[in-house]
Chain A
Amino acid sequence: MEVSTITAILDTTLAVVFTWVAYKTGQIIWKYTPYSYPNARIKAMEARLLSDQRILELSESRTLQNFVVNLEDSDYGPRLTSIENVNLRNVEMALELSLVDLLELMVKIMPKRVKGFFELLEESIDVRNISNVVKAKLNGLPAQDYIIPAGKMLPKVKAITEAKTMEEILVILEGTEYEEPLRKLLLKEITIQEFELDLYRNYYTKLFKYANSRKGEEKVILLEFVRMLIDERNISTILRAKMAGMSPENLKRLIIEGGSLSRATLDAMVNAEDHIMAMGELEGTKYGQVIRDVREELESGNLEAIERAIRRYRLTRMKELAQFYPLSVGVALTYILEREMEVRKLRAIAKLIVDGVKPEKIKELVGEVA
Chain B
Amino acid sequence: MDPIVYVALGMALGAGIAGAASSFGVGIAGAAAAGAVAEDEKNFRNALILEGLPMTQSIYGLITLFLIGMTAGIIGGGGFKFAEPTTQNLIKSAILFGAGLLVGLTGLSAIPQGIIASAGVGAVSKNPKTFTQNLIFAAMAETMAIFGLVGAIILIMSL
Asked whether A and B interact, the reply is yes
A residues sitting closer than 8 Å to B (CB atoms) are: 1-3, 6-7, 10-11, 14, 17, 21, 25, 28-29, 32-33, 36-48, 109, 326-327, 331
Contact B97 A10 (CB under 8 A): yes
Whether B6 is near chain A, meaning CB under 8 Å from some CB there, is: yes
Q: Given the known inter-chain contacts A7-B1, A40-B35, please indicate yes or no for A327 contacting B108, CB distance below 8 A.
A: no
Q: Given the known inter-chain contacts A3-B90, A44-B40, please indicate yes or no for A39 contacting B32, CB distance below 8 A.
A: yes
What would 13 A/B residue contacts be, using CB atoms closer than 8 Å?
Answer: A6-B91, A25-B111, A28-B112, A29-B28, A36-B35, A40-B33, A40-B35, A40-B47, A40-B118, A41-B39, A42-B122, A48-B39, A327-B119
Q: Which residue of B lies closest to A10 (CB)?
A: B94
Expressed in whole angstroms, the minimum distance between the Cβ of A60 and any Cβ of chain B is 26
Contact A28 B35 (CB under 8 A): no
Mark the stretch among B55-63, B66-74, B123-131, B147-155 that contacts chain A.
B123-131
Q: Which residue of B lies closest to A31 (CB)?
A: B115
Bound-state Cα–Cα, A331 to B35, Å: 14
A21 partner residues in chain B, CB cutoff 8 A: 17, 105, 108
Residue of B38, B40, B91, B118 with most chain A CB atoms under a 10 A cut-off: B118
A45 partner residues in chain B, CB cutoff 8 A: 39
B residues sitting closer than 8 Å to A (CB atoms) are: 1, 6, 9, 17, 21, 24, 27-29, 31-36, 38-40, 43, 47, 85-87, 90-91, 94, 97, 101, 105, 108, 111-112, 115, 118-119, 121-123, 125-127
Cβ contact of B35, chosen from A2, A25, A44, A48, cutoff 8 A = A44
Contact B118 A32 (CB under 8 A): yes
Residue of A42, A44, A45 with most chain B CB atoms under a 10 A cut-off: A44
Expressed in whole angstroms, the minimum distance between the Cβ of A77 and any Cβ of chain B is 14
Contact A10 B6 (CB under 8 A): yes
Contact A28 B1 (CB under 8 A): no
Q: Which residue of B lies closest to A1 (CB)?
A: B87
Cβ contact of A47, chosen from B85, B86, B94, B126, cutoff 8 A = B126
Contact B6 A327 (CB under 8 A): no
A-B contact count (CB 8 A): 104
Cβ contact of A44, chosen from B6, B86, B115, B122, cutoff 8 A = B122
Contact A3 B87 (CB under 8 A): yes
Contact A37 B35 (CB under 8 A): yes
B85 partner residues in chain A, CB cutoff 8 A: 3
Expressed in whole angstroms, the minimum distance between the Cβ of B38 and any Cβ of chain A is 6
A36 partner residues in chain B, CB cutoff 8 A: 28-29, 31-32, 35, 115, 118
Expressed in whole angstroms, the minimum distance between the Cβ of A48 and any Cβ of chain B is 8
A40 partner residues in chain B, CB cutoff 8 A: 31-36, 47, 118, 121-122, 125
A327 partner residues in chain B, CB cutoff 8 A: 115, 118-119
A29 partner residues in chain B, CB cutoff 8 A: 24, 28, 111
4 residue pairs, one from A and one from B, having the closest CB atoms: A43-B122, A44-B39, A41-B35, A40-B32
Q: Which residue of B lies closest to A33 (CB)?
A: B28
Bound-state Cα–Cα, A39 to B116, Å: 12
Expressed in whole angstroms, the minimum distance between the Cβ of A285 and any Cβ of chain B is 32
Q: Which residue of B lies closest to A39 (CB)?
A: B122
B47 partner residues in chain A, CB cutoff 8 A: 40
Bound-state Cα–Cα, A195 to B35, Å: 42
Bound-state Cα–Cα, A139 to B127, Å: 50
Expressed in whole angstroms, the minimum distance between the Cβ of A10 and any Cβ of chain B is 6
Contact A28 B115 (CB under 8 A): yes
B90 partner residues in chain A, CB cutoff 8 A: 3, 6-7
Bound-state Cα–Cα, A43 to B124, Å: 8
Expressed in whole angstroms, the minimum distance between the Cβ of A327 and any Cβ of chain B is 6
Contact B126 A44 (CB under 8 A): yes
Bound-state Cα–Cα, A84 to B32, Å: 37
Contact A6 B94 (CB under 8 A): yes
Bound-state Cα–Cα, A42 to B32, Å: 10
Q: Which residue of B lies closest to A6 (CB)?
A: B90
Q: Which residue of A lies closest to B117 (CB)?
A: A36
B121 partner residues in chain A, CB cutoff 8 A: 40, 43
Q: Which residue of A lies closest to B39 (CB)?
A: A44
Expressed in whole angstroms, the minimum distance between the Cβ of B9 and any Cβ of chain A is 8
Q: Given the known inter-chain contacts A1-B87, A25-B111, please indicate yes or no for A326 contacting B119, CB distance below 8 A.
A: yes
